Amino acid sequence: MSGTAMADRLLQMALDPDKRSAPAGGLDGRSGQNAVSAEGKPLIKLGKNQLPQGRYIIGRDLPEGTFDFTWVWGDGYISLYKTDESTTLGDNLYHENVGVAHEYQYRQCLHLQCTAGNMLIIGGNLVVEISRSSKLEIDL
């Protein structure tokens, strides 16, 4: 019944859920901006072929090739530049917003061609999994 102590308690629980009983990725299966649990431990642990935010030089930090990137955690973007210099002005080859919170974000970036000397930037609070793209089969 509305206005009772029980109704108020249930409403309070719905608005401010106990974080200790919530799933590790949050109530909606996503992570928030804070990547640390109540105990001070990281909510996620990087797995094999998972990249956190950072700058990666193709041919030095990552091998050359054609790759697929799949969202694992967080929100951010993936950009590829044709230079590893300090300025990237006018050198953008690819840019995509990655995540699950907004309509304009994608969960996968497929068939991104990375050549030696390119700089891959994973920005924001994002973790993606990198894998080699499958060979294209075209039968016309």
Q: Are residues 73 and 120 in the same domain?
A: yes
Domain count of the fold of the chain: 2
Higher-pLDDT residue of 122 and 26 is 122
Q: Are residues 41 and 57 in the same domain?
A: no
Q: Write out the residue range of the structural domain in which residue 72 sits.
A: 50-132
Residue 138 lies in a domain: no
Convert the pLDDT of each residue in 88-139 to its tens digit.
Answer: 777 899 999 999 989 999 999 999 999 999 999 999 999 999 999 998 899 9
Is the Cβ–Cβ distance between 26 and 75 less than 8 Å? no
SS3 10: helix
Residue 74 backbone phi and psi in degrees, to 5: 85, -165
Q: Give me the pLDDT at residue 28, please.
A: 42
Convert the pLDDT of each residue in 48-96 to its tens digit.
Answer: 999 999 999 999 999 999 999 999 999 999 999 997 666 677 789 999 9
Question: Which pairs count as long-range contacts for 47-52, CB under 8 Å and 24+ apart, including other chains?
Answer: 47/72, 47/129, 49/129, 49/130, 49/131, 50/127, 50/128, 50/129, 50/130, 51/122, 51/127, 51/128, 51/129, 51/130, 52/122, 52/126, 52/127
Of the candidates 66, 132, 124, the one whose C-alpha atom is nearest the C-alpha of residue 100 is 124
Q: Are residues 36 and 92 in the same domain?
A: no
Q: Are residues 98 and 35 in the same domain?
A: no
pLDDT at 23 exceeding the cut of 50: no
pLDDT at 16 exceeding the cut of 70: no
Q: Give me the pLDDT at residue 95, please.
A: 94
Q: Give me the pLDDT at residue 43, please.
A: 72
pLDDT at 41 exceeding the cut of 70: no
Residue 139 lies in a domain: no
The two three-digit tokens of residue 36, written as one number? 């640390």
Q: Give me the pLDDT at residue 8, please.
A: 73
Q: Alpha-carbon torsion 24, 27, 29, 35, what sign? A: negative
